[in-house]
Structure formats: C-alpha cells, structure tokens
C-alpha cells in the first residue's frame, strides 16, 4: 500500500517537480476554490428549433442582461441597455443595422467598445486569469487581455485604453473586434450548459443545434426519448428509422434528412408515389409550419403514409418476436378487419378513418412487401453510413447519458418509473429486474452496447432497447402507458388517443417520494433538486413548473412551436449562478431579424426558486470537491519532498 502511495507521488512529482512548483499549484487551486461558482444554464426540449435555441444560448436566459444591469445600473437608459444586449447577441447584424443610419460611426464604435469592455471585465471577474485566457478569441487575445485586466501601476489608464481603442478603429478592425468581444462575453456568462433532452424532432434544425453544441465550450446532455430514437436509427434499428422519417414527414421536415444529413429518400418517394399516388392520404396531413409548396405537400403526404405503414409493420413484428417486451397489445395490424375497415381495441370496434392498405396482406399483416424491404435495407445503410449523423451520435454518446448528478442536482429527461403508491417500480429488462437508478444504469449500458458491442447479438439487443426507450411504458424517458401513434392517425374516437402518464407526474408534489428518488441517486434530499423536461407545462391552465416547494423543476423548454398554443408560453429554462436558482419564462421567438431590428428578447419573467444567503463558491461545487482532492494530493507531495520520501527534480 505504502509503495503504491510513493509511486503515485513519484508520478505527481513529474508534473510538479519542485517544492516551489507544488506550492504554486496549491495556492492557485486554493484561489479557484474561493471564486464564485460558474453559472450553469439548463435547456430542455429544444425539438429542432435552432433559431430560438441559438438566441437563448446567446442571451444565457437573461445572464447577459443581468451583467449589463450590474455594470451600468442607472447610468444607462433602458433603450441603450437593450441595444447593447442586442450587440452582444448579434454583433455583426446589429453593427450593419446601425451603419445604415448612423453618421458618426467612429463615435459609435468608441462608445460601444467601452461598454463591451466593461461588461467583459465584469463577466471575467469570476474566473482565474488562466481560464479567461483560454477563452480569449485567438485574433485579439493579447489586446483583450490588456483591456480587461486592471493595471494598478498605470498612471493614465484612460489614455492608455483610449490609444488601443483608437488604433483598432483607425486600422479598420472595429467590427471584428466587436464580434470577438461579444463572443467572449457570451462565453464567459455561461460556464456550463446542461441539455436535459429532446434536441431532435418536430422543428427544422436539430442538425444545426448539434453542430452548435459540438463547438460549445462546456456541455453535458441527458438524452431525451427523441434523441434515443435518432440514436437507434443511426445504429440501424428499423423501428427507430421508420419513426424518425415519419416524424420528419409529419412536420414537413424531410429536408433535415435529405439536405441536413444527405440521406437519400428517393427510393421511398418513388415507392410512395406509385403505391399511394391516387390515395388522398388525408390522415397524413403534416403538423406545424406552412413551409411546403403544394407539389411537395402531395409528395409529403404520400411518403408520410408509406413510412407510417412500414413503421406499424416493423414495430408489430418486433413486438411479436420479443414477447419479453410485453407489448403485445401494441401490435395492431392483425386487429384490423380489412374488409369492414374497422379495428378491434379492448373489445371495442372502431371505424378507421382511412382503410386503404394496398401493401398489407391481411394474412401476414406485419410482413414488408419486397419493395418495402428493399427500401428499409437501403435506409438502414444510409443511416449507418451517414458520417455527419454518426458524428452527431458519437457526440451524444460522449457528452451524454440517461441522467446526471451535478452540483447536488439530479437531471433526467422524463421520469423515474413509480408505482401508484410512490415506490420505485420494478421493471423487467432482458430477464433481470431493475428499478430506479439501476434501471437507468442498465438502460444506458444497453444503448452503448447498441453502438459498440463486438458481439452481434448483444449489439442487436442494444438497438432494440433503444426502440424500447422511445416508447415502452416502463421507459423512464417516455413515462406513458402507450404511444398512441396508430390511433391518432386512424381513429376518430379521442378516448383511444389517451396516453396515460406514469404516476410519477402526479406524485411530484409528495416530498417523501421526491426525497426517495434523490436518495436513490445518492443525493442528500436537503438542498438537492430534480430537474426534468419532457412534459410541457400548461401555463394557461395554471400549471407551474415548480413542484414540491421548489425541489422539483419541470422545465420543458417549450421551444417547439407546435406546442406553444397548448401551453400558452414558449417554455422555461433554468439558470443556476452563485446567488441561487432562477427559473426563466420565455415568450415565443419570432426571428433573428426581429431580434436585431426590435431588440426583442424572449425571456419575460423570472422566478427565483432559491436564493442563497452566502454567495456559492467553487469550493462548494463538484469541481470544488475534485480540486480539494488535488490540493490534498499536492500537500502529500510537499510533505514527501520535505521528508525525503520523494526527491525534487531540478
Ligand atoms: O404531437 P406529435 O408530434 O404527434 O407527438 C405526439 C407524440 O409525442 C409524444 O408526446 C412523445 O414526444 P415528447 O417526448 O415530446 O412528449 C408521444 O407521447 C405522443 O404520441
Ligand atoms: Mn420527451
């Protein structure tokens, strides 16, 4: 044991070879521990709405505005502060707009540059110089550092700064400089980003969001059911592929696949036109925006139906092949009376709104036709072979998981499956029984196997589990008794559309239940929170995102336009800074142009969930715990140097 410790200290002495080096590092770490904790930003349910997402990233859900407020308080008017905020979010566009009318651009540059420097000084003051240095834009690193660092020894600071700024303007670099410093501010106001699931589906730009996240300085992702659906599709699981395409068609977004990811949908399009060419496919009208032209719409309708039918076949077959999933009642095609055009559900017969099924053989309803089979084979290859999609999925795998415990908060997208009495529900998974955290851990293990297992059978199992995570009643990411997709397309009777939520959602006000969940994940209930998304908070019905006296925060980001009518708001985000937790309500995002033109921001309301009496320091965070361990190790090294156990390397 002793030997192991000496060996460890020897390795550490490679990094800190002298008493002086080890001491300096201890002092540095100690300084970091006493800085205010960095601001965390939580977003969920972005659902492809990349413009609103980009905006919220830029404004840090109000974090930029509050920095401006801190710096300028009463010394700037409301309009000027708003203009400055817009300049920080959209430096290029805002400068262009000003140029159109402003006659004295030099003055304008000078004023804005001063203001931007003041804001960045404030934003940087929370961090060590080394961290700020790492965040500096390459081109202007040196000069920005000069400008934002207080120089006590300078006599005439003003003329020194003036000189720098004048030079920047004179040599025609003011615009680039503004962009660089605006980026720096955005980067400094948010230290870490949490995405609590559902990046994909419904909106037009999940791939753009993924590209953005991949360049973000610090992020973790808790996968949502829609994200796992895409992961399953990328891994080649057919049920997931069909769902992904169906949802894109449903929202008129097939171009995400075709243009965004370069996945060829032509075989499906040709097939759909041939098979459903004179079928009005009225049940397959798309939801959401009016972006499609008429001809495209006709095509969309048909592709939508074609892939839906394929989905119901593929899923039904999977369910029947895997009785252990216990989803038999979700295989529906054999319950249809193809002559009468009805379906028998729970002993009740319902007429179908559309009973044209030219590709279904009533004797073998789950078999794909030869052409359907060929289409699926090609799609499988296309998804698996799409480099961009695979890169995005690898990023999700690397930065994400099914849940996260971070700074005393428990983050997951959906729920923890519970029984009616609030106890953790036992769930069967591949012959074993799990509940609570063990269920989450097991499921995550299967997802990773679906990508990385060497053994083909294990890999296959992992892929199928991804499909289960998407829509199994016991999936913690789905959390409903069924996904009534078929019923919602084909049956008028609303009672069949009902998807009953897991008791979790009713029990969230019960402190004993919430505490048990927190403890299950290793947290002390005192001062801890659960943050989840997934269910839109219907503000207009008086629902609140704050449950259980602030212990649970259901912050469906509500970015999805299609859901905004229902909720009456564009959702919530959460900010956790050194002063406490603040829930931010958002208005619908109009467009980037409107944001620049009108200086409109979309955060409308703040609810302080928790305000601490003493500012929280890095020392009280998870990173702080790690740093303290490092300090302890370094102190052992120092002692070893002093006792002669380890010798300095000069
Ligand atoms: O309104 P849409 O896009 O048809 O989606 C409805 C389906 O989406 C789900 O709500 C799942 O998506 P969410 O994770 O966004 O809730 C299903 O329960 C439901 O069947
Ligand atoms: Mn969801």
Residue 197 region by backbone torsions, left for phi larger than 0, else alpha for psi between -120 and 50, else beta: left
The contacts found for 509-516 with CB under 8 angstroms, 24 or more apart, are: 509/547, 509/548, 510/422, 510/548, 511/548, 511/549, 511/551, 512/422, 513/418, 513/422, 514/547, 514/548, 514/551, 514/552, 516/422, 516/423, 516/424
Q: Tell which residue, 305, 255, 254, 311, has the closest CA to residue 283.
A: 305
Cα(603)–Cα(595) distance, integer angstroms: 12
Residue nearest to atom 18 of ligand 1 (CA): 483
Per-residue pLDDT for 13 more than 70? yes
Give the nearest ligand 1 atom to 477 CA: 14
46 in ligand 1 pocket by Cβ < 6 Å?
A: no
- What one-character DSSP code corresponds to residue 38? P
Buried b (16+ CB within 10 A) or exposed e, 252-278: bbbebbeebbebebebbbebbeebbee
Residue nearest to atom 15 of ligand 1 (CA): 534
Cα(294)–Cα(106) distance, integer angstroms: 50
330 in ligand 1 pocket by Cβ < 6 Å?
A: no
499 in ligand 1 pocket by Cβ < 6 Å?
A: yes
The predicted structure's pLDDT at residue 288: 66
The predicted structure's pLDDT at residue 594: 84
Per-residue pLDDT for 1 more than 60? no
Cα(520)–Cα(405) distance, integer angstroms: 11
More confident residue, 2 or 198: 198
Give the nearest ligand 1 atom to 560 CA: 15
| Overall average pLDDT of the 146-163 stretch | 77
The predicted structure's pLDDT at residue 292: 67
pLDDT-derived band of residue 149, with 50, 70 and 90 as boundaries?
confident
Cα(374)–Cα(214) distance, integer angstroms: 34
| Overall average pLDDT of the 516-527 stretch | 96
Encode pLDDT of 73-115 as tens digits. Answer: 999 999 999 999 999 999 999 999 999 998 999 999 999 999 9
248 in ligand 1 pocket by Cβ < 6 Å?
A: no
The predicted structure's pLDDT at residue 197: 96
Which ligand lies nearest the alpha carbon of 330? Answer: 1
Rg for the chain (alpha carbons), in Å?
A: 28
The predicted structure's pLDDT at residue 433: 97
Per-residue pLDDT for 212 more than 90? yes
Percent of the chain clearing pLDDT 70 (strictly above):
96
Q: Angle CA(30)–CA(34)–CA(38) in degrees, nearest 5?
A: 120
Strands (E), 499-617: 529-532, 546-547, 552-554, 572-577, 580-586, 603-611
Distance 470 CA to ligand 1 centre (A): 10
| Overall average pLDDT of the 262-268 stretch | 97
Cα(262)–Cα(522) distance, integer angstroms: 43
Per-residue pLDDT for 252 more than 90? yes
Per-residue pLDDT for 452 more than 60? yes
| 8 A C-beta contact, residue 119 and residue 71 | yes
Cα atoms found within 13 Å of the Cα of residue 552, Cβ hemisphere only: 27
More confident residue, 67 or 601: 67
Q: Tell which residue, 116, 108, 33, has the closest CA to residue 67.
A: 116
302 in ligand 1 pocket by Cβ < 6 Å?
A: no
pLDDT-derived band of residue 121, with 50, 70 and 90 as boundaries?
very high
| Overall average pLDDT of the 126-143 stretch | 88
Distance 26 CA to ligand 1 centre (A): 51
The predicted structure's pLDDT at residue 611: 76
480 in ligand 1 pocket by Cβ < 6 Å?
A: yes
| Overall average pLDDT of the 601-623 stretch | 82
The predicted structure's pLDDT at residue 650: 86
Encode pLDDT of 338-359 as tens digits. Answer: 999 999 999 999 999 999 999 9
Per-residue pLDDT for 291 more than 70? no
Cα(437)–Cα(432) distance, integer angstroms: 14
Q: Is 573 exposed, middle or buried (0-12, 13-18, 19+ CB in 10 A)?
A: buried
* Number of CB atoms found within 10 A of residue 530's CB: 22
Distance 222 CA to ligand 2 centre (A): 11
pLDDT-derived band of residue 157, with 50, 70 and 90 as boundaries?
confident
pLDDT-derived band of residue 604, with 50, 70 and 90 as boundaries?
low
Per-residue pLDDT for 196 more than 70? yes
Encode pLDDT of 579-600 as tens digits. Answer: 999 998 888 888 888 888 887 7
Residue nearest to atom 17 of ligand 1 (CA): 483
Cα(242)–Cα(367) distance, integer angstroms: 15
Residue nearest to atom 9 of ligand 1 (CA): 483
483 in ligand 1 pocket by Cβ < 6 Å?
A: yes
Distance 567 CA to ligand 1 centre (A): 14
The predicted structure's pLDDT at residue 479: 97
Give the nearest ligand 1 atom to 478 CA: 14
Per-residue pLDDT for 312 more than 80? yes
3-state secondary structure (DSSP) of residue 201: coil
Cα(235)–Cα(389) distance, integer angstroms: 10
The predicted structure's pLDDT at residue 457: 97
Sheet of 219-222, strands arranged across: 400-401, 219-222, 192-195, 40-43, 572-577, 580-586, 603-611
| 8 A C-beta contact, residue 129 and residue 150 | no
pLDDT-derived band of residue 289, with 50, 70 and 90 as boundaries?
low
Buried b (16+ CB within 10 A) or exposed e, 347-372: eeebebeeebbebbeeeebbebbebb
Structure tokens at 100: 């159109």
Percent of the chain clearing pLDDT 90 (strictly above):
79
308 in ligand 1 pocket by Cβ < 6 Å?
A: no
* Beta bridge pairs of residue 530: 410, 552
Distance 414 CA to ligand 1 centre (A): 12
593 Cβ neighbours under 8 A, 6+ residues apart: none
**The overall pTM is greater than 0.90:** yes
Give the position of tokens 């110089």: 129
3-state secondary structure (DSSP) of residue 408: coil
Distance 199 CA to ligand 2 centre (A): 9
Supply the mean pLDDT for the chain: 93
225 in ligand 1 pocket by Cβ < 6 Å?
A: yes
Choosing from 200, 224, 225 the residue with most ligand 1 atoms within 8 A of its CB, the one to mutate for a pocket test is 225
| 8 A C-beta contact, residue 491 and residue 348 | no
Cα atoms found within 13 Å of the Cα of residue 596, Cβ hemisphere only: 14
The predicted structure's pLDDT at residue 3: 86
Distance 195 CA to ligand 2 centre (A): 12
- What one-character DSSP code corresponds to residue 503? T
| 8 A C-beta contact, residue 512 and residue 540 | no
Residue nearest to atom 6 of ligand 1 (CA): 485
Distance 321 CA to ligand 2 centre (A): 27
Encode pLDDT of 524-539 as tens digits. Answer: 999 999 999 998 887 7
Helix crossing, 141-148 with 174-189: angle to 10°? 70
Per-residue pLDDT for 135 more than 80? yes
* Beta bridge pairs of residue 586: 603
The DSSP element (H or E) to which 611 belongs, if any, is: strand 603-611
Task: Find the length of the chain.
Answer: 650
Structure tokens at 397: 């795998």
Cα(290)–Cα(297) distance, integer angstroms: 10
464 in ligand 1 pocket by Cβ < 6 Å?
A: no
Which ligand lies nearest the alpha carbon of 501? Answer: 1
| Overall average pLDDT of the 461-486 stretch | 98
| Overall average pLDDT of the 327-336 stretch | 98
88 in ligand 1 pocket by Cβ < 6 Å?
A: no
| 8 A C-beta contact, residue 196 and residue 43 | yes
Choosing from 47, 244, 315, 478 the residue with most ligand 1 atoms within 8 A of its CB, the one to mutate for a pocket test is 478
Distance 451 CA to ligand 1 centre (A): 25
The contacts found for 97-103 with CB under 8 angstroms, 24 or more apart, are: 97/596, 97/597
pLDDT-derived band of residue 366, with 50, 70 and 90 as boundaries?
very high
485 in ligand 1 pocket by Cβ < 6 Å?
A: yes
The predicted structure's pLDDT at residue 590: 83
Give the 3-state secondary structure percentages of the chain, helix then strand then coil, rounded to 5. Answer: 55, 10, 30
More confident residue, 586 or 22: 22
Distance 381 CA to ligand 2 centre (A): 27
Per-residue pLDDT for 260 more than 90? yes
Distance 608 CA to ligand 1 centre (A): 30
The predicted structure's pLDDT at residue 233: 98
Give the nearest ligand 1 atom to 45 CA: 15
Give the nearest ligand 1 atom to 413 CA: 14
Per-residue pLDDT for 395 more than 70? yes
355 in ligand 1 pocket by Cβ < 6 Å?
A: no
The predicted structure's pLDDT at residue 537: 81
């Amino acid at each position: 044991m002793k030997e192991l410790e000496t060996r460890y200290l020897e390795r550490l002495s490679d990094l800190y070879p002298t008493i002086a080096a080890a001491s300096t590092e201890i002092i540095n770490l100690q300084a970091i521990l006493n800085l205010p904790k960095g601001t965390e930003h939580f977003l969920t349910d972005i659902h492809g709405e990349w413009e609103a997402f980009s905006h919220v990233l830029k404004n840090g859900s109000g974090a930029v505005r509050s920095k401006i407020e801190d710096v300028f308080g009463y010394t700037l008017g409301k309009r000027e502060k708003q203009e400055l905020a817009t300049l920080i979010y959209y430096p290029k566009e805002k400068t262009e707009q000003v140029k159109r009318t402003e006659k004295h651009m030099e003055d304008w540059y000078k004023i804005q540059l001063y203001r931007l420097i003041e804001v960045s000084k404030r934003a940087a003051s929370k961090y060590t110089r080394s961290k700020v240095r790492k965040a500096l834009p390459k081109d202007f690193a040196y000069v920005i550092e000069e400008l934002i660092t207080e120089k006590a020894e300078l006599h005439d600071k003003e003329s020194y700064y003036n000189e720098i700024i004048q030079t920047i303007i004179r040599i025609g670099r003011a615009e680039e400089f503004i962009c660089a410093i605006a980026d720096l501010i955005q980067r400094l106001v948010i230290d870490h980003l949490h995405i609590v699931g559902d990046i994909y589906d419904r909106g037009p730009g999940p791939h753009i969001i993924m590209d953005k996240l991949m360049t973000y300085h610090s992020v973790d992702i808790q996968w949502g059911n829609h994200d796992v659906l895409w992961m399953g599709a990328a891994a080649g699981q057919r049920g997931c592929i069909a769902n992904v395409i169906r949802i894109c068609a449903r929202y008129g977004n097939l171009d995400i696949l075709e243009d965004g990811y370069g996945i060829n949908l032509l075989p499906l399009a040709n097939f759909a036109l041939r098979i459903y060419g004179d079928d009005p496919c009225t049940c397959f009208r798309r939801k959401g925006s009016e972006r499609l032209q008429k001809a495209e719409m006709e095509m969309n309708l048909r592709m939508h139906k074609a892939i839906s039918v394929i989905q119901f076949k593929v899923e039904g077959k999977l369910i029947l092949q895997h009785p252990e999933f216990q989803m038999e009642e979700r295989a529906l095609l054999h319950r249809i009376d193809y002559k009468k055009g009805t379906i028998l559900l729970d002993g009740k017969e319902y007429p179908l709104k559309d009973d044209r099924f030219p590709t279904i053989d009533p004797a073998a309803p789950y078999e794909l036709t030869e052409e359907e089979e060929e289409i699926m084979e090609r799609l499988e290859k296309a998804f698996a072979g799409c480099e961009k999609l695979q890169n995005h999925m690898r990023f999700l795998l690397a930065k994400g998981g099914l849940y996260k415990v971070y700074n005393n908060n428990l983050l997951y997208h959906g729920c923890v499956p519970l029984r009616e009495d609030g106890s953790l529900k036992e769930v069967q998974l591949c012959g074993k029984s799990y509940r609570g955290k063990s269920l989450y851990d097991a499921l995550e293990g299967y997802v990773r196997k679906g990508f990385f297992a060497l053994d083909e059978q294990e890999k296959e199992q992992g892929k199928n589990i991804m499909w289960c995570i998407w829509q199994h009643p016991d999936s913690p990411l789905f959390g409903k008794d069924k996904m009534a997709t078929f019923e919602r397309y084909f049956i008028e009777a609303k009672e069949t559309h009902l998807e009953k939520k897991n008791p979790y959602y009713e029990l969230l006000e019960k402190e004993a239940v919430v505490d048990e969940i927190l403890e299950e994940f290793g947290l002390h209930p005192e001062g801890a929170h659960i943050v989840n998304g997934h269910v839109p908070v219907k503000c207009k019905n008086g629902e609140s995102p704050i449950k259980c006296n602030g212990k649970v925060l259901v912050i469906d980001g509500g970015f999805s336009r299609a859901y905004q009518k229902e909720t009456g708001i564009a959702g919530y985000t959460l900010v956790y800074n050194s002063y406490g937790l603040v829930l931010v309500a958002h208005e619908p995002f109009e467009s980037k142009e409107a944001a620049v033109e009108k200086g409109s921001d979309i955060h409308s309301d703040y609810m302080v969930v928790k305000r601490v009496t003493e500012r929280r320091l890095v020392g009280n965070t998870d990173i702080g715990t790690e740093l303290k361990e490092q300090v302890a190790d370094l102190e052992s090294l120092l002692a070893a140097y002093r006792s002669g156990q380890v010798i300095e390397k000069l």
